[in-house]
Homo-oligomer: A and B are copies of this chain.
Amino acid sequence: MARPGLTIALLLTTPALVDACQQWLPEMRYHSIDLSEPDQRGERLDLVGILEAQQEQIDALVVEQQLLDATTRGQLLGRGLLFPAVVVGEVKGHVDYHSEELHLANDQLAQLGYTVDAAISRFLRQGRADGRGDGDGLASVDKLSRRLQERLGYLGVFYKRDPSRFLGSLPSEERSEVLDSLQRTYRDLLISYFRDPAASNQALESFVNTAFFSDLPITRTVEIHVDQIDEFWKQLRLEGHKSEFLQDYRLALLDVMAHLCEMYRRSIPPDIPLSGLAAGRHRREADRSVDQEESS
C-alpha cells in the first residue's frame, strides 16, 4: 500500500476535537499525528517546544485558535516555526499565526481535508512568490517551502486537486456532510458580510477553497446561496421585518464567484499552442509580430 502523502500535526485541546479532525483526514491521504500530548491536556500546551522538536516530520498543522496567543505566536515567528496551517475555532477575521493560515469553524470540520490541501497549496505558492512583505520570517517560509517541495517532488510543486476527493467520488453520506458543512460556512459568510468584512473574508476563503478542491459544480454554489437567502427571508417574514435588503447579498455571491473563478483560472496549466509543440516558443514571438502588423 502506498504511504500517505502528507503528515499533519494536530494541536488541539480536547480528545473530541482530535477525533473530529482525524475523521476528516482520510488515512489513505493524510498521516495525522496528535501532538496534543494527552497527559498534559487541560494545561497549556508547549506549542513552541513541540513544533521545534517535531519540525522535520511535519508538513502542515491543524491548530486550535485558543492555543495561539500573542506570546506563542511571537515565539513561533521568532524561531521560524512556520508551517501551512488550518486554525480551528471561531472565525473572527484575525491573523492568529501567519498570513497564509486558513480558518475553519468547529462545526465545519467536514471540509478539513480540503482546507489542509488549500493551506499547503497557498503556502507553497507564497514560498515561490517574490516580495512577501509582511516580515513573517521570509527565510523560514522559503526554507520550509523548499523542503515541502522536495518531499512532495513534482506533485508538490503543482500540488492541486485530488480527483478521489471530489464530491462526485465521495460516498453519498460523506458528500452530504461536506455539503452541509459548506452551507454553514456560507451562512457564516453572509451573516458577517456587511458587519465584519474580515471575518466574512475568512469564511469566504474557506468556502472557495472547499468548493475548488471538492470540485463543487457552480450551479450548486448558486443553490447554496439561494437556499440560505430563502431561509433568511422566511425568518424575517415570521418576525415581521422587511426583507428587501436581502438583495444586497447578491454582492456576497458575486464575491464568492469572482474568487472561485480566479482560482480556477490560475490553476489551468499553460496550454500548448495549436500548431506544434516543439515550435511553441518561436511561434509566440512570431504571432506577436504578426499581431502587431495586423492591428496597426
Q: Is A262's CB under 8 angstroms from B163's CB?
A: no
Say whether A139 faces chain B, with CB atoms less than 8 Å apart: no
Interface 0/1 of A33-44, CB less than 8 Å to B: 000000000000
Per-position contact with B for A282-296: 1 when CB-CB < 8 Å, else 0? 011011101110111
A159 at the interface (CB under 8 A from B): yes
Q: Could you mark each residue 239-265 of chain A with 1 if its beta carbon is under 8 Å from any beta carbon of chain B, else 0?
A: 000000001001101100110111011
A261 CB to closest chain B CB (Å) equals: 4
Chain A residues touching B, majority SS: helix
* Residues of the B chain whose Cβ atoms lie less than 8 Å from the Cβ of A155: 272, 274
Take A2-B283, A218-B265, A258-B218 as given contacts and tell me if A159 and B274 are in contact as well, using a CB distance cutoff of 8 Å. yes
Identify 15 new A-B residue pairs, CB closer than 8 A, beyond the known A28-B290, A174-B291, A222-B254. A155-B274, A159-B274, A161-B271, A163-B271, A163-B273, A164-B288, A169-B284, A170-B288, A171-B295, A173-B295, A217-B262, A219-B258, A250-B250, A264-B268, A268-B268
Closest 6 CB pairs of A and B: A264-B264, A174-B295, A5-B274, A261-B261, A257-B257, A164-B287
